[in-house]
Structure 1
């Protein structure tokens, strides 16, 4: 699985309205994207509360997807006790491992998590009855002896989505993370101050396993920003905080995991301290590598890779937004400094991916930190080819065609559009195919 074997990444597909940014309705903006464990299915959620599923198209040679089904997962609500509007926006989707012909996936908005069952359902119609033989109308039977039982016949097969469980009323604050355990029986949900453990089959109770809420809210100094289960050890999970640390917790230690087993934190260089230090060091996403050995974390300006056996400092720090250090004042003024970028590992853990502004995304080789810059851009539809290797990086041959100056140099320019940003992405578990949410479009890229 070598991404540069055929000269780099190519634009493969795009779903969604390809009109101008100005014409986009808020409800159509994609808010989460997730491959299932096989890579044959892909889910997106949007701000309008809809979930759209895509299925791999086996008729095509490459890794190509087709529309599978769409359903309304969440509706806007109003909390009358708190006079609070609850948005329908889907914050996260997580697939459960497939056990039978049906698909199960969890989706959540700010307050309510739902377990959806998606399955093929045959539609049957009455083919014969006392008044029809299926082709023509019959006169009513003249006696009881002539009465016949109606017969059913399968007419069509539809894809149905039904909510099997609704997990609600367990979070006082907005849910930002859900993660399914490797035992496929439990999952966690996290908000700013608490993490709850649920059994998939029990929707009316959950166990609070982390609570960092202080007795006096004026003493609040940090919030939970992301939470994730270990991929193989069902007793381990981690959560990141706005104080630039990651805590690894073991559910075997105690019922309440407030005492962490490990703390991953890097000492801050006092010479670099500024007004924005606390904001830009807040971790927006954490992911375990597939083998569970490493942790990938994303803060505003960088990616960090941690060895699970070394807590004092990351084994690698990869700068993403160094060119934005001089613009932090502007980014604070327009609220972009609070953007929460996600990060993800490749299926073989050899590469990592994260997004940036102006619809740029960056893929890094974990060993060499060599990177490829791509742009999820509307011009990809016309060109059918995008990105290209970086200047001075001979490793990624020239088949894609180098743009003058390269995308990496273009990222440094003043003309970045901060309204276009790649916050959400997912990597196919077995192939070099990535799904990128760019405003209201879903882009797919592949590397041979």
Structure 2
């Protein structure tokens, strides 16, 4: 890890924390990493997922029972839980270039943390889940603190961009392995295993559950069933799968055709649209307008492919494209796959509305240097939505014979992670594919 990048990152977070605390009238910021949650009526825990507010500060993602103490003007403190245990592997003491910037106290029991916390819990902004409470130190999640920190988290530091780039490198390596498995005739489950093996991450390490959809399954936007036997024939693969690095997420989607033909041509057309949209991730761009432009461009693809009979403008105005492209163009990405404050009007709260008729768009903020977003246009052949299109009288706009020919392939989605800069956008995903 580049030490200077981390130092500058930490300085930025300390400045943000000081401003957030001043706004809310608190003296200290406390952040628990979180604890293990037991399954209902059982003594087995769910997989641990670290508090994203915690991992924003340091690259510890598998450390339950820890606390951060941030007091303006003082060295930040990590209370690190290293229990004495022979049932489970004990976490190793923190190491790496970031450690020198922290005062670290080692705990043997979770309760020991209370001795190191400020004497008055009422003077503390505590960010976390209710289950992370330690006596009187219970998360209160003050809205002014969260609004400020979440809003500014959209603007990534150089350190964060490096982690996102590394996450994309891992994801791309695994995507290439998944494509090889698909072309070798593997099942959805087999492709998923090939992906995890190449990424060096299992299902609990990945930032979200892999979407591995063969043929018609690609028409289910969040398909995660992963059948154990391959279909016959295996026509197409849509794989939406990411990777984690130091707490940061990559989110990458690719679609492949088993053979050249009309569906492969449609993939190439969507890819061209996606690249055109990626090129517009520039400072000042209204992401809502970019989403609406995606509808117009995809309507042109549908028209060119003979799927719709009307003009692209009419297809958008009459809601035809919404049946083929029902989700948002993308979202912010960083510590979380769908990063926070995507709709925030300012660091003091409020929301920027979605365009009318587009309820699933997760990002409405204008783009600015430091923001990292996904661009993921898609075209799908979803029976439910196409039936609704017919029911609402728009069926004449569609060539249903063309739909029927493409329906067995399910759908297409292509997704990259793109950083907005002061100049041209930086496509982290395409860079990683080029490097591979």
TM-score normalised per structure 1 = 0.26
**Which structure features the higher share of helix residues?**
2
Structure of greater Rg: 1
